[in-house]
Amino acid sequence: MVQKRKLGNSDLEVSAIGLGCMGMSFGYGPAQDRQEMTALLRSAVELGVTFFDTAEVYGPFTNEELVGEALAPFRGQVIIATKFGFKLDPDGGPRWVGLDSRPERIRQVAEASLQRLKVDAIDLFYQHRVDPDVPIEDVAGAVKDLIQQGKVKHFGLSEAGVQTIRRAHAVQPVAAVQSEYSLWTRKPEAEVLPALEELGIGFVPYSPLGKGFLTGKIDAGTAFDGSDFRNILPRFTPEARKENQVLVDLLAGIAHQNNATPAQVALAWLLARKPWIVPIPGTTKLHRLEENIGAVSVKLSSHDLRDITEAVSRITVQGARYPEHIERMTGR
């Protein structure tokens, strides 16, 4: 079984590797077959995964419905995290049309998510992106009310900056912060991780495998489905992929020495950073799920860790991680 980790000072104990569920329904091309994804989610539980990540906006709604139905037999054995904070297309389109973290909207999302997830309480309720139009104290207060009502157990933030984290945490303790973090997206190291350590907050890296790039299965010639959002990411232009291949080659060499895969080394590096870090790689394939879980058994030596960190520091990753309009949604 997968080892467990505690998210900071909270009593939230989860498997050391979680499962990001977005790609099953949204983001990386057409939605996957529902029966196959249900089987994959249940296999994850059998393999020891107890931490699952979804959001209202994935689909919208369809990912929460899938996760809720698939994990219904495992109530009480698993932790399901979901998110609020996007304004959805009022005409029912698949795209979000802005941010909305007004307290009344948070309450609406919580009620709807409870229904879709088929749970009595949301284990971990993240603000998906910081809403500049709503004071974070009001957001934290709304979640605090939901916690007091027994509808939510823990409060989380996603892509929030240090000031926002501190202000939110003063109103309602934050159990976890989720942000993109991997060998090619290391911005959280500068300010966020030290603040989380000080405050006793867990950290949940999403895209810990660089949206698939760090697995070594994507190169300059890879073609993505027309609906795959990587098509709009500056870091995924063919030119950037060609330049960034040096990072994957480095991982492949270290993986070979450790009898592991590049993905496992990338995840093991994250796990070795702090005992309160829990990455949530996403996948739609059972063999990838098994590979990712196998990273828990990859023990990188201090020498390996130093070599990786030093080598990666010398590589300049080409391309921004998001287009400017999405990058602007990162909180302060």
Give which of 131, 194, 183, 133 is closest to 157, Cα–Cα. Answer: 131
CA atoms of 133 and 135, how far apart (whole Å): 7
Residues in the chain: 332
DSSP alpha helix (H) spans, 156-215:
162-171, 192-199
* Bridging pattern class, strands 122-127 and 79-84: parallel
Type of residue numbered 247: L
Per the residue annotation, which of 28, 58, 206, 322 is the catalytic one? 58
Burial 60-78 (b: 16+ CB within 10 A, else e): bbbbbbbbbbbbeebeeeb
Q: Can you name the residues that pair with 253 across neighbouring β-strands?
A: none
DSSP conformational letter for 268: H
CA-to-CA separations, 84 to 1, 111, 290, 324, in angstroms, rounded: 31, 11, 30, 22
CA-to-CA separations, 148 to 143, 144, 298, in angstroms, rounded: 9, 6, 41
DSSP alpha helix (H) spans, the chain:
34-46, 62-71, 103-117, 136-148, 162-171, 192-199, 238-257, 262-273, 286-293, 302-313, 324-327
Q: Is 58 a catalytic residue?
A: yes
Which pair of structure tokens corresponds to residue 264?
A: 């496992």
* Bridging pattern class, strands 202-206 and 174-180: parallel
HSE of 51, CA atoms in CB hemisphere, 13 A = 26
CA atoms of 119 and 25, how far apart (whole Å): 20
Which pair of structure tokens corresponds to residue 309?
A: 């960190």
Question: Which residues form the catalytic set?
Answer: 58
